[in-house]
Amino acid sequence: MPMHRSNFITRLRVALAMAAAIAMPGAASADAQLDKMRAKVAAFIADKMEKLGGSRIVYRVDTDGLREAVVADLRDDVYKTLREGRIAFSGLAIRDGRVEVNIPDAKGREQLTRKLASAAEDLPTHALTITGSGDGLIRLAPTEAASAARLHELVDDCIAMIEQRLKDAGVTLASVQPEGTDRIRIFLPGMTEPERITAIFARKVKVSFRQVDVSMPAEQAQRGAPPDGTEVLLGFKDNKPYLVAKHSALDGDDISYAGPGFASGTKEPVALFRFNGRGTRRFAHITSENVGKPFAIVLDDKVVSAPEIREPITGGSGQISGNLTLEEANSIAMMLRAASLPGRLGLVEQQVVQPAAKL
């Protein structure tokens, strides 16, 4: 019976994670369903913990890393708005946790603030405080409410990532819940080696975007010596060899979001990702210079996708496809997210919980 229950929980997690990621108007409804499901799982796990004992692990998310990432994203948004609006500016920089920029022209300052306010409309995580001075200096920073909403969002992302990575490690009987504003609690019934779980999260997922070398067949390079600066990696699903550059053109730090979704047209499961401002510029440059060539997306030294670049990609987003199941798309997305989450999870405590004494 417990095995049937854990399999059901696994399938429900994947289905609701997909729904939450792709639903636009119904996103709040999907979140509510996910919260209800997690509450049921927590109640079930609490009962098992009382009977079997197990492990309790508490992590804290990196709030300092989050603040730095949010302000860096804001700086990139300001830069993009200024360039697209052809607004003259100088001195764009991050100082004391805020973004500062000097815009001499009053109309330019008004155009920037209007654009940013419009972009933040209906997005509580992007609300800003904007202050100015007579000399044209503008200071921008997230509001306290926006910072709190971003923290809540980060905790939710970390919970989804932890759940998926536990499942990938074969751990299906677990409860992952928020504790306070910046902590995450994991209960693992029957497990008396919490260090085995913490070791999973001590290792950071390696994500890289690399050029594919087409100067020789990958099979030939695998049998002999690959060209300098390249190596042979195997495919995620088919173990097919790929000859790729050792140097990564972009990495996980350039990703601002990753989640499961469906391809338009075919409706096949895919892993979606979006770059931050720096990553968007670099990806646009790379794809512009390599039209017609394949480009490999690598997770932990496995090539999960190697599509041909058909045209310059300037929008800063992409997808990983290739006959993926729902679970595989979700797993890949969560690995991308694990690499892109601001900062790292900090271990607060790990302990073995004894079962309740029988009367």
278-313, pLDDT tens digit by residue?
888 888 888 898 899 899 999 888 998 888 888 888
Give, in order, the Cα–Cα distances in Å from 319 to each of 128, 198, 304: 30, 30, 11
- Residue 69: closest CA among 334, 344, 315: 344
Query: Would the pLDDT of 9 be above 70?
Result: no
Instruction: Return the half-sphere exposure (C-beta side, CA atoms, 13 A cut-off) of residue 262.
Output: 12
How far, in Å, CA of 281 to CA of 75, rounded? Answer: 14
Helix (H, G, I), strand (E, B) or coil at 307: coil
Q: Tell me: the pLDDT tens digits for 197-255?
A: 998 888 777 888 999 999 999 999 999 889 999 999 999 888 899 999 999 888 888 88
Q: Which two tokens stand for residue 170?
A: 């074969």
- 203: three-class secondary structure by DSSP: coil
| pLDDT, tens digit (0-9, with 9 covering 90-100), for 326-346 | 888 888 888 887 777 666 789
- The enclosing H or E element of 58 equals strand 54-60
Does residue 291 contact residue 211 with C-beta atoms inside 8 Å?
Answer: no
The torsion region of residue 204 among left (phi > 0), alpha (psi -120 to 50) and beta comes to beta
Highest mean pLDDT among 45-59, 211-225, 312-326: 211-225
pLDDT of 93 > 90? The answer is yes
- Residue of 41 and 53 predicted with greater confidence: 53
Phi, psi dihedral angles at 274 (to 5 degrees): -140, 140
CATH topology of domain 2-63+147-203+344-353: Alpha-Beta Plaits (3.30.70)
Residue closest to 158 by CA, chosen among 340, 329, 358 = 340
pLDDT band at 3 (very low <50, low <70, confident <90, very high): very low
Closest CA to 351 of 53, 32, 55: 55
DSSP classification of residue 247: S
Note the pLDDT tens digit of each residue in 114-143: 888 888 877 777 888 888 877 899 999 999
When the pLDDT of each residue in the chain is averaged and rounded to a whole number, the result is 83
Give me the phi and psi of 166, to 5 degrees please. -65, -45
Does the domain at 207-340 match CATH 3.30.1360.200? Answer given as yes
Residue entry with tokens 């087409």 = 214
- Whether the per-residue pLDDT at 92 is higher than 90: the answer is yes
Taking the CB of residue 204, how many other CB atoms lie within 10 A of it? 12
Range of lowest pLDDT (28-42, 84-98, 306-320) = 28-42
> Where along the chain do the CATH 3.30.1360.200 domains lie?
207-340
As given in the structure block, the two tokens for residue 23 are 């639903």
Looking up tokens 């992952």 gives 176
Q: How many other CB atoms are found less than 10 A from the CB of residue 289?
A: 11
For residue 116, what are its two tokens? 């940013």
Residue 49: pLDDT band (50, 70, 90) is confident
pLDDT, greater one: 116 or 17: 116
**90 CB contacts (<8 Å, ≥6 apart)?**
101, 102
Q: What is the CATH number of domain 64-146?
A: 3.90.1150
Q: What is the pLDDT of residue 189?
A: 92
Buried-exposed string 312-349: b where 16+ CB fall within 10 A, e elsewhere: ebeebebbbbbebeebbbbbbbbbbbbbbbbbebeeee
Q: Which residue has the tokens 């919980």?
A: 353
Question: Average of pLDDT values for 174-197?
Answer: 92
Q: Taking the model in full, what pTM does it have?
A: 0.74
Q: What is the pLDDT of residue 22?
A: 42
User: Are the beta carbons of 270 and 321 closer than 8 angstroms?
Assistant: yes
CB 27 within 8 A of CB 123: no
pLDDT range class, residue 194, cuts 50, 70, 90: very high
Could you tell me how far CA 160 lies from the centroid of its own chain? 10
pLDDT in the model for residue 357: 59
The count of other CB atoms within 10 Å of the CB of residue 297 is 23
Alpha-carbon distances, residue 251 vs 84, 209, 299 (angstroms): 26, 6, 10
Please give the Cα distance from 195 to 49 (Å, whole number).
Answer: 18
d(CA 250, CA 132): 36
